[in-house]
Amino acid sequence: MRFGPGRPDLRGCSLSCLAEELARLGERPYRARQLFRWLHQKGAASWDEMTDLPQELRARLGERFDLYTLTIQEEHCSSDGTIKWKWRTVDGLFVESVYMPHGDSGGSGLEEDDVQDDEGAPRNRRRRTLCVSSQVGCAIGCTFCMTGTMGLARNLGPGEIADQVHRANRRLVGLGLGPAPRPLTNLVFMGMGEPLHNFENVKSALDLLLCQDGPNFSHRHVTVSTSGLVPQIRRLGEETQVKLAVSLNATTDSQRDRIMPVNRRYPLAELLQACRAFPMKQGRRITFEYVLLRGVNDADADAERLAKLIAGIPAKVNLIPYNDGPGLSFAAPEPARVEAFRDRLVRRNVTAVVRKDRGQDIAAACGQLAAEGGPGDPRRRKAGVEHPGNGPLAPGALPLSLEGRGQG
């Protein structure tokens, strides 16, 4: 079946929205759940797969909705088991997801030994984590990040965000890398984009991914990472139960202003206040990511300040030695400096781990995700092509208004 542009993305619809739609079509209520399972449990890529739905119903739905799916543009497998997929969207843009076996991560903030990050799961549970993208590019413009150099092309829709998980699950089953239908055990929103800058769509995607009739992820196994959008951190805490990671990356405002422009809008004191107020169930912790940049933020004094800044917050620090990217002018500290930094933190009773290099040989590590399809790419301007992330960009999106402190 072929569909024209402009219809809503069926995969972005909630179960209740499907139920309403099917009721309008005079269908029995159980059909909604059946359809939802096809979309989000089995990850159906086409109407033809939905064999137990009447042909005539599929055709009628096809008149109202598009059934988008991401397609694999590239697949890169690292010697350490990491797999990076470059997906093509329906309008010809590219985003990436990274699969990390064992659950420790290229920046996911999760480590195998971190039992509290995996509460409720047996200690020896095998983790398979997917690092998910939320936007094509990113508007935040951190100076050390490849994705930040792209600018923001557009938000991903809820269906596109969820579909990264579905495509990855299917592919992993195909490769014999985990049990069907859902090899993935954990999700981290640490791919391309700033998830909280695309709040509504990310939240809708979370609802799809956490739904019992969908892939049924536990909120304990889903982490959303942010550069520090304070109002949206509050909303995330109020409206979801997923875990929070914050890319701190600096210990003074002047330092952070320089490498993360978002700090001019939401300075450290406000950001940490929001972290302190973030609702956390017992045993839950916030992950603070800290990219170590040689000569910029890697001094002992930074470690001391970092420990002070987060004192009293149930937290762990994930130290990420800088990964080089073309055109970026930073360097990673020597390994001994990294260890010394970590030791300082540990002596202040801060849980701190140094992220293992993963997927370096395939540029899948933190901050190395950048694909064609950014604002400079002519392909993204394909006239008249509707995309499932449609609707206006989040308020203040293009460009992110960074003037003034502490506004909005």
Q: Is 142 a catalytic residue?
A: no
Residues 229-268, interacting with ligand SAH (CB under 6 A): 247, 249
183 binds, among ligand SF4, ligand SAH, none (CB under 5 to 8 A by kind): none
The interface mask with ligand SAH, positions 279-298, x = CB under 6 A, is ----------x-x-------
The phi, psi pair for 226, rounded to 5°, reads: -135, 150
Q: How far apart are CA 100 and CA 128, in angstroms?
A: 6
* Whether 193 contacts 133, CB under 8 Å: yes
Q: How far apart are CA 259 and CA 297, in angstroms?
A: 10
CB of 249 to ligand SF4, least distance (A): 8
Q: State the catalytic residue, choosing from 96, 111, 194, 289.
A: 96
Nearer to ligand SAH, 44 or 139 (CB): 139
The interface mask with ligand SF4, positions 135-154, x = CB under 6 A, is ---x-xxx--x-xx------
Nearer to ligand SF4, 181 or 231 (CB): 231
Going by C-alpha positions, the residue among 339, 350, 344 that lies closest to residue 314 is 350
User: Looking at beta carbons, which residue is closest to ligand SF4?
Assistant: 148
The interface mask with ligand SF4, positions 42-61, x = CB under 6 A, is --------------------
Q: Which two tokens stand for residue 293?
A: 């940049």
Nearer to ligand SF4, 167 or 197 (CB): 197
CB of 161 to ligand SF4, least distance (A): 15
107 binds, among ligand SF4, ligand SAH, none (CB under 5 to 8 A by kind): ligand SAH
Nearer to ligand SF4, 142 or 307 (CB): 142
Task: Decide if residue 309 touches ligand SF4 (CB under 6 A).
Answer: no
CB atoms within 10 A of CB 213: 16
249 binds, among ligand SAH, ligand SF4, none (CB under 5 to 8 A by kind): ligand SAH
CA angle 305, 351, 121 (to 5 degrees): 145
Among the residue ranges 61-69, 221-229, 231-239, 280-288, the one whose residues contact ligand SAH (CB under 6 A): 221-229
* Whether 219 contacts 242, CB under 8 Å: yes
Q: How far apart are CA 384 and CA 5, in angstroms?
A: 8
Task: Decide if residue 19 touches ligand SAH (CB under 6 A).
Answer: no
**Pick from 130, 323, 373, 387: which binds ligand SAH (CB under 6 A)?**
323
Residues 180-219, interacting with ligand SF4 (CB under 6 A): 193-194
# chain residues binding ligand SF4, by CB under 6 A:
11
Task: Decide if residue 194 touches ligand SAH (CB under 6 A).
Answer: yes
CB atoms within 10 A of CB 403: 7
Q: Which two tokens stand for residue 223?
A: 């982490």
Q: Where are the alpha helices (DSSP H) in 214-278?
A: 230-239, 253-259, 262-265, 268-277
Nearer to ligand SAH, 289 or 298 (CB): 289
Q: How far apart are CA 396 and CA 334, in angstroms?
A: 39
Looking at the DSSP bridge assignments, the partners of residue 135 are 155
- How far is it between the farthest Cα atoms of the chain? 68
CB of 376 to ligand SAH, least distance (A): 19
Going by C-alpha positions, the residue among 84, 69, 74 that lies closest to residue 10 is 69
Task: Specify the amino acid at residue 225.
Answer: S
Q: Is 366 a catalytic residue?
A: yes
Q: How far apart are CA 11 and CA 159, in angstroms?
A: 5
Q: How many CA atoms lie within 13 A of 70 on its CB side?
A: 32
Nearer to ligand SAH, 69 or 227 (CB): 227
User: Which value, to the nearest 10 degrees, does the dihedral of the CA atoms of residues 367, 322, 128, 131 take?
Assistant: -20
Task: Decide if residue 233 touches ligand SF4 (CB under 6 A).
Answer: no
CA distances for 295 relative to 264, 301, 303, 331, 366, angstroms: 22, 12, 13, 8, 20
Nearer to ligand SF4, 149 or 204 (CB): 149
Task: Decide if residue 97 touches ligand SAH (CB under 6 A).
Answer: no
Q: How far apart are CA 310 and CA 313, in angstroms?
A: 6
**Pick from 12, 103, 107, 359: which binds ligand SAH (CB under 6 A)?**
107
Where in the sequence numbering do the catalytic residues fall?
A: 96, 366
> Which residue ranges make up the site for ligand SF4 (CB under 6 A)?
138, 140-142, 145, 147-148, 193-194, 227, 247
